[in-house]
Structure 1
Amino acid sequence: MSEKIKKSAVTGHPVAHSRSPLVHGYWLKKHGLSGSYDRIDVAPESAEAFFGDFAASGLVGANVTVPHKEVAASACDWLDEAAQTMGAANTLWLDANGRLCGSNTDGLGFLGNLDQLAPEWDVSRESAVVLGAGGAARAIVWALLSRNFTHVHIVNRTLEKARTIAGEFGSKTIAHDWNSLGKLLGKADVLVNTTSLGMTGKPVLEIDLTPLPKSALVTDIVYVPLKTDLLKRAAERGNPTVDGLGMLLHQAVPGFERWFGVRPEVDDALRTIVLEDLGVNG
Structure 2
Amino acid sequence: MTGSRPYAEVIGDPIVQSKSPAIHNYWLSKLGRDARYDSCLVTSDDLADYLAERAEDHSWLGCNVTMPHKQAIIPHLSRLDPVAQRIGAVNTVVREDDGSLVGYNTDAAGFLEPLRERLSATHLFRMARIFGTGGAARAIVASLLEQKMTLVLAGRSVAKARAMLADFGAADGHHVAPLAHFAQPTDFAFDDREGCFDLVVNTTPLGMHGQPPLEIDFSHIPPGSVIYDIVTHPAETAFLIKARERGFDTVDGLSMLIGQAAVAFEKFFGVAPPREDGDKALRQILS
Gapped regions of structure 1 (runs ≥ 5): 276-282
1:200 is matched with 209
The letter for the 2-side match of 1:193 is: N
In the TM superposition, residue 205 of structure 1 has moved relative to its aligned partner by 1.9
1:144 is matched with 144
- Whole-Å separation in 1 of the counterparts to 2:204 and 2:60: 33
Distance 1:184 1:61, change over 3 A: farther
Deviations 1:124-167 (A, max 9, x none): 45211101111121111112112222x11101232111111111
In the TM superposition, residue 92 of structure 1 has moved relative to its aligned partner by 0.8
Range with bigger deviation, 205-214 or 103-112: 205-214
1:215 is matched with 224
- Whole-Å separation in 1 of the counterparts to 2:67 and 2:179: 27
Give matches, 1:18-167, under 5 Å: 18-57=18-57, 58-115=59-116, 119-120=117-118, 123=121, 124=123, 125-149=125-149, 151-167=150-166
1:253 is matched with 262
Distance 1:204 1:133, change over 3 A: same
The letter for the 2-side match of 1:51 is: L
In the TM superposition, residue 211 of structure 1 has moved relative to its aligned partner by 4.5
In the TM superposition, residue 16 of structure 1 has moved relative to its aligned partner by 2.4
SS at match of 1:218: strand
Quick check: 1:130–1:154 contact (8 Å CA) kept in 2? yes
Distance 1:49 1:244, change over 3 A: same
Deviations 1:14-63 (A, max 9, x none): 22222211111001011111111111222321211222453124411111
- Whole-Å separation in 2 of the counterparts to 1:159 and 1:61: 36
Match of 1:224 among 228, 233, 240: 233
Quick check: 2:56–2:99 contact (8 Å CA) kept in 1? no
The letter for the 1-side match of 2:262 is: V
The letter for the 1-side match of 2:18 is: S
- Whole-Å separation in 2 of the counterparts to 1:138 and 1:55: 27
In the TM superposition, residue 224 of structure 1 has moved relative to its aligned partner by 2.3
> TM-score scaled by structure 2?
0.84
Quick check: 2:229–2:240 contact (8 Å CA) kept in 1? yes
- Whole-Å separation in 2 of the counterparts to 1:122 and 1:233: 27
The letter for the 2-side match of 1:273 is: I
In the TM superposition, residue 102 of structure 1 has moved relative to its aligned partner by 0.7
Range with bigger deviation, 46-55 or 124-133: 46-55
- Whole-Å separation in 2 of the counterparts to 1:91 and 1:46: 18
SS at match of 2:223: coil
Distance 1:14 1:177, change over 3 A: closer
Quick check: 1:214–1:237 contact (8 Å CA) kept in 2? no
Over aligned residues, Cα RMSD in angstroms?
Answer: 2.3
Quick check: 2:157–2:178 contact (8 Å CA) kept in 1? yes
Distance 1:178 1:6, change over 3 A: closer
2:199 is matched with 190
The letter for the 2-side match of 1:158 is: S
Distance 1:95 1:128, change over 3 A: same
Range with bigger deviation, 256-265 or 186-195: 186-195
Moved over 3 A (4+): 121-125, 178-188
1:269 is matched with 281
Gapped regions of structure 2 (runs ≥ 5): 192-196
Quick check: 1:51–1:72 contact (8 Å CA) kept in 2? no
Range with bigger deviation, 159-168 or 14-23: 14-23
2:194 is matched with none
1:175 is matched with 176
Aligned identity (percent) is 39
SS at match of 2:64: strand
Deviations 1:55-102 (A, max 9, x none): 124411111112222232221112112321333211111224432111
- Whole-Å separation in 1 of the counterparts to 2:244 and 2:63: 37
